């Protein structure tokens, strides 16, 4: 037992690579992925405790993340250019974007300029507005592409361009999350979001997600421990967030045990 605790501490605080097991996809899906999903859920519940953080933003983030399997399918079916083989996938993505647009409108209607001097909500509102505009543009692009396929009109639309547009939507939404964090904690949450939450969200639904965690376990571990140390030792823990920080840390330690 002492040996296991020692290894966990060593992995938690060492900046160097640590000898570790590489999990198979099957082992990852059973033992690690559910715990990572729990960490993401804890994180989003935690940030909604910040004053004036728009709760309506969370379903939009989740809806966008749900597109990952369809994006992978699009790439595997039409790796270079869009053609009739991926029409069903294109239509599926387009329909999901339409549902996402409805959620985005709810979010926009709920957005209000903050009365606090410690939150840059106007920047967040601009990013959400830009996201909505880009979302409508991508949806129109998919409509046009699907029409050309149905009409058997030749086109030279490259797959990576559509995937790039979808990835840009994700970037805008991620930046919006950070802009709704109070200035005192923004940099701490920015680091954790872009070094842990965002990449895990991007990878968790992919077929090769276990490989990402195998390669990046040390960096991910550092991000978790940095947030926990900063918010519990160096700064005042934001009100109500103590239990969520403890849950994230405990979940992550259970992930680490799979790699020892």
- Strand (E) positions, 152-247? none
pTM score of the predicted model: 0.86
Instruction: Give tens-digit pLDDT for 129-148.
Output: 999 999 999 999 999 999 99
Instruction: Give tens-digit pLDDT for 147-176.
Output: 999 988 888 889 999 999 999 999 999 999
* Exposed / middle / buried, residue 164 (Cβ in 10 Å: 0-12, 13-18, 19+): exposed
């Amino acid at each position: 037992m002492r040996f296991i605790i020692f290894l966990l501490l060593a992995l938690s605080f060492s900046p160097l690579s640590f000898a570790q097991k590489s999990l198979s996809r099957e082992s990852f899906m059973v033992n690690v992925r559910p715990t990572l999903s729990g960490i993401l859920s804890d994180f989003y519940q935690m940030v909604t405790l910040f004053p004036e953080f728009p709760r309506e933003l969370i379903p939009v983030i989740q809806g966008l993340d749900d597109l990952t399997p369809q994006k992978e399918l699009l790439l595997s079916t039409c790796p270079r250019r869009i053609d009739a083989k991926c029409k069903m996938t294109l239509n599926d993505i387009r329909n999901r974007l339409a549902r996402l647009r409805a959620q985005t409108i709810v979010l926009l209607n709920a957005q209000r300029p903050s009365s606090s001097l410690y939150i840059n909500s106007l920047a967040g509102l601009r990013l959400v507005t830009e996201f909505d505009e880009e979302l409508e543009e991508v949806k129109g692009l998919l409509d046009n592409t699907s029409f050309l396929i149905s009409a058997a009109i030749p086109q030279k639309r490259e797959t990576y361009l559509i995937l790039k547009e979808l990835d840009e939507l994700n970037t805008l939404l991620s930046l919006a999350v950070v802009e709704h964090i109070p200035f005192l904690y923004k940099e701490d949450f920015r680091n954790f979001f872009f070094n842990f939450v965002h990449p895990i969200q991007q990878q968790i639904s992919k077929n090769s997600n276990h490989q990402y965690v195998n390669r990046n376990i040390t960096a991910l571990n550092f991000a978790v421990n940095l947030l926990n140390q900063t918010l519990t030792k160096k700064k005042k823990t934001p009100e109500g967030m103590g239990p969520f920080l403890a849950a994230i840390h405990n979940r992550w330690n259970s992930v680490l045990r799979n790699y020892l």
